[in-house]
Amino acid sequence: MSAAAIGNLAVFLGLLYWLFTMQGKHVSFNKRVFCGLGLGVAYGATLQWLYGADSTPVAQTLDWLNVVGSGYVKLLQMIVIPLIMVSIVSAIIKFKDAGSVGKISALTIGVLIFTTMIAAAVGILVSNAFDLTAVGLTAGTAEAAQGGVMQTKLQDMGQLSIAKMLLDFIPANPFLDMTGGRKTSTIAVVIFSAFIGIAAAGIASKKPQVFADFERLVAVAHAIVMRIVTLVLRLTPYGVLALMGKVVAGSNWADVVNLGSFVVASYCALAIMFGVHLLLVSLTGLNPLRFVKKILPVLAFSFTSRSSAGAIPLNVQTQTRALGTPEGIANFAASFGATIGQNGCAGIYPAMLAVMIAPTVGVNPMDLSFIIPLIGIITISSFGVAGVGGGATFAALIVLSALNFPVALAGLLISIEPLIDMGRTALNVSGAITAGSVTSRMLGQTDMTVFDGDEAIALETEEAMA
């Protein structure tokens, strides 16, 4: 390792220690997360300025930053499945009513699909407003390679249909899905957990002693899992620092400038859609400004990590501890939102790609005969998009192949993919939280005392530290 890289890592360790001292001084979780975000940007920008994105010192430094950043994301992914299982089973046992589970599922999925439909329309309108087109764009080596990869993925997908995607939700082997072995594993675990909860609730009156024993077992498991969640979430400021530093230091800003119109258009569409989320929240009677303040930490994490699934634990904690949403609804919304109806990856992104590519095959992107079917295809295909890296690519493949558009042209955006994926992922998570909040309010289950409180995620409370 070069002396420059060693010096870079020494600075990084110093920044980590600074965040640690802030925790020792009981600085709020929110402030530490955003401090980590700001330090990460400054650190990454400094590395870019001193060495350049493709330099050896930066590459060596990012290898070690990746240990902290990606290591943190892996820890979050580690607790996703246990958290989903114990929380959903616990929630259904408390409901003791399969009808309530059905209402929660239907409302949550309905909000996610509705917002994805709006997101598709927003993506189309913004793309046309910015006059985005793939005509004239040239592919370099990396872009051509990515186009080939997308073409290969499309062939591997074979004859993909909506019916097959829905069938994939069914957990034929729940133990396989607990390993995250399929793109739809998260939803499959939700379904399996719901069956366990409904079965347990069904014996409450017939075998009360057995039910009581199972209820105690679930309560113990839930307490332990939530303690693990708390321990992992305390690492959030350090993970955000490393992830943001890696993104900024490793980005090729010349390519970003060349495709600047798509970047700007993407973030305009994301901002509009975020406004739609706030509108829906306000229509249910919640204060949108307070809502924004409380979800900022989880949006900051999802922005830097680019993982909707990895954000599930922080998503659930935000909904329950900061927004007053019951655990059952929060877990359904976070779990469904990581796979179904992702507003950014499955809504805005494929819509903008389709509008860009349309002129290359002689299709007018302003024609209603193109726009209406496109919105329908995007809405239906938004089921089953994985909440990890590559979910947007999967959604784009489904939509572009359904339109008989050349999927390889999507590879032209590979150089700016990480930058726009950050915003897309944050919008995905915002959509999931919005679905949970709206569902909770519509069912009259939101704890307004918690929502109106001043704290966001009180990880430093006496209870959490016990």
Ordered structural domains, the chain, with CATH: 3-465 (1.10.3860.10)
82-94 burial, b at 16+ Cβ within 10 Å, e below that, comes to bbbbbbbbbbbbb
Q: Phi and psi of 266, rounded to 5°?
A: -60, -50
254: left (phi over 0), alpha (psi -120 to 50) or beta: alpha
pTM above 0.85, yes or no: no
- C-alpha count within 13 angstroms, C-beta hemisphere, residue 251: 22
Helix (H) or strand (E) holding 35: helix 29-51
Taking Cα atoms as reference points, which of 404, 430, 343, 333 lies closest to residue 379?
Answer: 343
Per-residue pLDDT tens listing for the chain (466 residues): 788 889 989 999 999 999 999 988 888 877 888 898 899 989 988 998 888 877 888 889 989 998 998 898 888 888 888 888 888 888 788 766 666 778 888 899 999 999 999 999 999 999 999 888 876 555 444 444 555 555 555 555 555 566 676 787 888 898 998 887 777 777 788 889 888 988 888 888 889 899 999 999 998 998 898 888 888 888 889 988 998 888 888 776 665 666 678 889 999 999 999 999 999 999 999 999 999 999 988 898 888 877 787 788 889 889 998 999 988 889 888 888 887 888 988 899 889 989 988 888 888 989 999 999 999 888 887 776 655 555 677 777 778 877 888 776 666 676 677 788 889 999 999 999 999 999 999 999 999 999 988 765 554 443 443 3
Q: Give which of 180, 192, 218 is closest to 338, Cα–Cα.
A: 180
